[in-house]
Amino acid sequence: MGDTGPAGGGDPYEGIPFLGDLARMLQSSGSVSWDAARQLATSVANRGEAETNPDPIERIRFEELARVAELRVADVTGLATSTTGRAVTVLPVTRGEWARRTLDHYQPLFERLSSSLSGPGAAPAGEHPAGDQAEDPTAALLGGLFSMVGPLFLGMQAGSMVGHLAGRAFGQYDLPLPRPPSDDLLVVPDNITAFRDEWSLAEDDVRLWVCLTEITSHAVLGLPHVRERLETLVLDYASLFRPDPSALEERLGAVDLSDQASLASAFNDPEALLGVIRSPEQQALLPQLDALVAVIVGYVDHVLDVTGASLLGSHGQLSEALRRRRVEAGSADRFVERMLGLELAQAQYERGSAFI
């Protein structure tokens, strides 16, 4: 017979052996489930279909255009385009490969978010919650269980988010976040080709535009003071989420379990699924993060305008296509905004460009 704990001992799982066993299993399984996240990211990215490696001719053309872009960006910005001392390599990859590498690169950020979800805002199993939650057995149960289930959900959400981003990303800096030091820049030819076909653009113009964007972003985020400040703000933001079990209970209480649409609506919102809200500390941090991101993306756009005007025959059409692409950002981008504190709407780019 399982030990349900002493009467009145504050164990929210007393009398529910299954949940107690589940809690112990989750407590011993670590934080984010990265294997599950990678599998989901890959499946979402390639839509469950086999992918073929990029054509070698595509690789050669990107290499040639990257040299042109690297020289022009260095000339216009005066910045070093390399972070390791060697020439930048633009590396074409499949959507699935982009998703796997991106998830690995962002792992420290998601680990920080996982820690905040299971931190002091939610009482672990066996500890007596304080305040109203202590008086409400349901809230106590949800709070304790969520502190352990939260990281599991986070792993799946992270995999889903990165997988969806892989379906539209041109390169590794679609999100203006630093990556581990390397001069290999990932690009996704399948997405670039789809965008080119949608807008009937010249093939090499789009490739060169992507190279200019990625190399400029790489140069800016490679600046030690920019990299350090942005990493600090994003990691601090991720660490300041606080679990809100009562909000999760309220959301689930309105769900019709027999209605698939109702279930999808309840779990489609990352804030509801993860049971978190922005804390006052996050609200205080957001203006600093918004300002820095606006300057970064605004400067990159400025460099693109300067370099693109002389190198790209379809520069005007490309600029309009990019604006439309930002306006039409989907649910994966909203997840990024809420979870990472990044505001990537068109207005943010315009704000940064006006400052530059």
Give the DSSP per-residue string, 278-302. Answer: --HHHHHHHHHHHHHHHHHHHHHHH
pLDDT of residue 110: 87
Rounded to whole angstroms, the Cα distance separating 286 from 342 reads 9
pLDDT of residue 130: 47
Alpha-helix residue ranges (DSSP H) falling in the chain: 17-27, 34-46, 56-77, 95-105, 107-117, 132-135, 137-166, 189-199, 203-221, 224-239, 245-253, 260-268, 270-274, 280-311, 315-327, 331-340, 346-355
Nearest to 274 by CA among 335, 348, 196: 335
Cβ atoms of 111 and 13 closer than 8 Å: no
pTM passes above 0.85: no
As a dihedral over the C-alpha atoms of residue 103, residue 286, residue 280, residue 340, rounded to 10 degrees, the angle is -10
Angle at 346 between CA 344 and CA 347, to 5 degrees: 95
pLDDT of residue 166: 94
Do the strands 242-243 and 276-277 form a parallel or antiparallel pair, or are they unpaired?
A: antiparallel
Cβ atoms of 153 and 113 closer than 8 Å: no
Rounded to whole angstroms, the Cα distance separating 169 from 128 reads 46
Which helix (H) or strand (E) element contains residue 243?
strand 242-243
Low pLDDT (below 50) residues in the chain: 1-9, 12-13, 15-16, 18-19, 21-22, 25-26, 28-29, 121-134
Q: How many CA atoms lie within 13 A of 213 on its CB side?
A: 25
Nearest to 165 by CA among 344, 330, 347: 330
pLDDT of residue 22: 44
